[in-house]
């Protein structure tokens, strides 16, 4: 079978974004728009460049909008849309429409731009060891960049790839995995080969971040020397060791290596709390707080990894918080996720965060509410991985082994911190229960479409148990490549 080649993504990231040369990426990520040589002549320059990658991830075309609360959530059917809205193309999975293709092209370009920028810094990092003289700081920078590169590639695999990477799909071609900053053409590889590259990045990132400050293994003089400027603080806003380990858990769920996924998720749970990276949100305080501006709607204390996106409220407000929004997007009725027949309905703090009455047709979400009066410590936060997801992974892994009591225990642990006082009825089947909890937990974060897609691709008890919840999602779950990719013969096999 003929193998098609992909335009080098570093060129695609530059040219398709309207940049005149590859080095111009620095102008997008560097607030001072200085030359590459000058930028990478100092430690602060590397810090600035790394920050720029996180800023790129938070753009509207990437995780600030499309890959989280907007496109990914609409395709997951978590919202209803007015039939006159252009968003009906996403809602109905009319992926070949101009509206949908424009969005998928934006996602493709922005994700590969993040990868290109990460690769460029990695190249400079190895060239300029005279600048980054500390082996420890070198490991932090390289580890974070490899973690970011793996994170974004993994999402590209999930958006533009199949719901299963095995079961006869191993040899099919998937999205290009780009590991260099080069004009050389990056070939498409098989799922099997691409996943190996993904796992290689994750394994190296974990090794480099083994002494991440969040693990408690940083050098004794770390705070007074390398972190004197506090750049390496706020580890939940960086791709830290436990974020990479959590990413590994996600990857292993897609590989269907449930034993390894369970091991990864358990390690994050065991250590992320102990080291202070995360803590459960105070459910009682959220219920009692009467000022919306003082409530931690995204449960920021539970973030294993998050982005700080200064324009997040601007992105979201035109759809959710305007009295006359430009597009009518609302949540499905509250019965879909939070039944008023449930005696704990009023106490579930997720219901308080998600069920803002929008109009007669439905509800919208407070999750990303963040006006200028909003408490600064909670504003502009996009959860990328939360600790509750690790419990949900454990629950599913237990279900795969028919360990239903253990699965219910994992779900009860989450619910205990959401306002519920009673355990789940053990007469229920756990599969639809963990999917329901997953949808409640991750609404607006761009993750539910991936869970639904993965389950839909399976033909086993886990998928069957969630059948009723998957019916509406059935259909095309695979985003098409941008037109430019297919026009020039770079064809996606399905």
What does the angle CA 203 – CA 492 – CA 174 come to, to the nearest 5 degrees? 10
Q: Is residue 19 part of a domain?
A: yes
Q: Specify whether the CB–CB gap between 132 and 143 falls below 8 A.
A: no
Q: Specify whether the CB–CB gap between 5 and 185 falls below 8 A.
A: yes
Using a 10 angstrom Cβ sphere, with 0-12 exposed, 13-18 middle and 19 or more buried, the burial of residue 335 is exposed
Q: Specify whether the CB–CB gap between 118 and 53 falls below 8 A.
A: yes
Q: What whole-number distance in Å separates Cα of residue 239 and Cα of residue 141?
A: 10
Q: Is residue 148 part of a domain?
A: yes
Same domain, 175 and 320: no
Q: What whole-number distance in Å separates Cα of residue 302 and Cα of residue 295?
A: 14
Could you report how far apart the first and last alpha carbons of the chain are, in Å?
14
193: nearest Cα among 426, 3, 436:
3
215 C-beta neighbours (distance < 10 Å), count: 16
Domain count across the chain: 2
Q: Residue 353: its pLDDT value, please? A: 67
Q: Specify whether the CB–CB gap between 90 and 76 falls below 8 A.
A: no
Q: Specify whether the CB–CB gap between 445 and 316 falls below 8 A.
A: no
Q: Spell out the residues 6+ positions from residue 105 whose beta carbon is closer than 8 angstroms to its own.
A: 482, 483, 484
Of the candidates 154, 180, 211, which is a domain's last residue? 211
Q: Specify whether the CB–CB gap between 390 and 269 falls below 8 A.
A: yes
Locus of tokens 């920078």: 141
Same domain, 310 and 167: no
Q: Residue 288: its pLDDT value, please? A: 65
Same domain, 428 and 347: yes
What is the pLDDT tens value at each position of the chain, 494 positions in all?
233 233 333 333 333 333 333 344 344 444 444 577 889 999 999 999 999 999 999 999 999 999 999 999 888 877 776 666 678 888 888 899 999 999 999 999 999 999 999 999 999 999 999 999 999 999 999 999 999 999 999 999 999 999 999 999 999 999 999 999 877 778 899 999 999 999 999 999 999 999 999 999 999 999 999 999 999 999 999 999 999 999 999 999 999 999 999 999 999 999 999 999 999 998 887 776 656 556 788 999 999 999 999 999 999 887 777 665 544 556 655 555 766 555 555 678 887 666 665 555 566 777 888 877 777 778 899 999 999 999 999 999 999 999 999 999 999 999 999 988 889 999 988 888 898 899 889 988 999 999 989 988 886 666 666 666 666 676 678 999 998 876 655 545 54
Using a 10 angstrom Cβ sphere, with 0-12 exposed, 13-18 middle and 19 or more buried, the burial of residue 223 is middle
Same domain, 50 and 192: yes
Q: Residue 374: its pLDDT value, please? A: 75
Task: Indicate which CATH number applies to the domain containing 193.
Answer: 1.25.40.390
Instruction: Give me the domain span that covers residue 176.
Output: 8-211
Same domain, 206 and 296: no
Q: What whole-number distance in Å separates Cα of residue 166 and Cα of residue 145?
A: 28
Q: Is residue 241 part of a domain?
A: no
Q: Is residue 314 part of a domain?
A: yes
Reading the block at residue 288, the tokens are 């009692």
Same domain, 405 and 315: yes
Q: Is residue 271 part of a domain?
A: no
Is 0.85 topped by the overall pTM? yes
Same domain, 291 and 394: yes
Q: Residue 9: its pLDDT value, please? A: 36
C-alpha separations of 100 from 74, 112, 114, 445, 482 in Å: 11, 18, 21, 19, 10
For residue range 104-142, list pLDDT tens digits in order: 999 999 999 999 999 999 999 999 999 999 999 999 999
Same domain, 170 and 294: no
Q: Is residue 177 part of a domain?
A: yes
Same domain, 311 and 181: no
Q: Residue 22: its pLDDT value, please? A: 39
Quote the DSSP letter at residue 238: S
List the alpha helices (DSSP H) in 273-325.
283-288, 312-320
Reading the block at residue 372, the tokens are 């200028």
Q: How many residues does the chain have?
A: 494
Same domain, 103 and 205: yes
Same domain, 462 and 323: yes
Listing DSSP states for 338-370 in one string gives S-TTSTTGGG-HHHHHH-EEEETTEEE--TT--
Same domain, 287 and 429: yes
Q: Is residue 450 part of a domain?
A: yes
For residue range 150-190, list pLDDT tens digits in order: 999 999 999 999 999 999 999 999 999 999 987 777 889 99
Q: Is residue 195 part of a domain?
A: yes
Listing DSSP states for 114-178 in one string gives HHHHHHHHHHHHHH-TTTS--HHHHHHHHHHHHHHHHHHHHHHHHHHS-S-SSTT-TTSB-----
């Amino acid at each position: 079978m003929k193998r098609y080649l992909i335009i080098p993504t570093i060129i695609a990231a530059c040219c398709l974004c309207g940049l005149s040369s590859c080095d111009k990426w620095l102008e997008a990520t560097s607030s001072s728009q200085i030359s590459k040589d000058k930028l990478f002549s100092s430690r602060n320059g590397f810090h600035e460049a790394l920050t720029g990658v996180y800023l790129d991830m938070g753009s509207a075309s990437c995780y600030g909008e499309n890959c989280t609360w907007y496109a990914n959530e609409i395709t997951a059917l978590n919202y209803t849309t007015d039939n006159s809205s252009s968003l009906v193309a996403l809602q109905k999975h009319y992926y070949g429409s101009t509206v949908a293709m424009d969005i998928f092209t934006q996602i493709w370009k922005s994700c590969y731009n993040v990868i290109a920028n990460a690769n460029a810094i990695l190249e400079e990092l190895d060239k300029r060891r005279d600048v980054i003289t500390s082996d420890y700081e070198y490991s932090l920078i390289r580890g974070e960049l490899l973690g970011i590169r793996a994170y974004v590639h993994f999402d590209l695999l999930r958006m533009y790839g199949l719901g299963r990477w095995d079961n006869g799909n191993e040899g099919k071609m998937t999205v290009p995995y780009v590991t260099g900053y080069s004009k050389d053409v990056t070939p498409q590889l098989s799922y099997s080969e691409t996943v190996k590259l993904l796992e290689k990045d994750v394994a190296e990132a974990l090794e480099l971040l083994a002494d991440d400050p969040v693990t408690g293994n940083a050098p004794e003089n770390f705070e007074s020397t390398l972190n004197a400027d506090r750049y390496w603080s706020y580890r939940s806003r960086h791709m830290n060791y436990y974020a990479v380990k959590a990413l590994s858990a996600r990857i292993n769920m897609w590989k269907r290596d449930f034993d390894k996924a369970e091991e990864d998720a358990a390690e994050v749970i065991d250590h992320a709390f102990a080291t202070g990276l995360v803590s459960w949100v105070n459910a009682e305080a959220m219920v009692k707080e009467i000022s919306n501006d003082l409530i931690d709607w995204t449960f920021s204390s539970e973030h294993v990894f998050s982005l700080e996106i200064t324009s997040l409220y601007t992105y979201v407000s035109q759809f959710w918080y305007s009295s006359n929004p430009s597009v009518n997007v609302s949540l499905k009725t509250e019965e879909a996720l939070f039944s008023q027949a449930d005696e704990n309905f009023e106490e579930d703090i997720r219901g308080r965060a998600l069920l803002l009455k929008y109009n007669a047709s439905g509800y919208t979400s407070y999750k990303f509410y963040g006006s200028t009066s909003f408490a600064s410590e909670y504003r502009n936060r996009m959860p990328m991985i939360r600790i509750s997801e690790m419990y949900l992974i454990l629950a599913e892994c237990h279900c795969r082994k028919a360990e239903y009591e253990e699965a219910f225990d994992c779900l009860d642990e989450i619910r205990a911190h959401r306002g519920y006082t009673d355990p789940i009825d053990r007469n229920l089947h756990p599969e639809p229960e963990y999917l329901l909890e997953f949808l409640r937990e991750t609404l607006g974060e761009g993750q539910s479409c991936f869970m639904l897609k993965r389950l839909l691709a399976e033909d086993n008890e886990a998928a069957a148990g969630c059948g009723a919840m998957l019916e509406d999602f059935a259909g095309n779950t695979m985003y098409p490549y941008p037109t430019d990719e297919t026009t020039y013969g770079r064809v996606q096999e399905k």
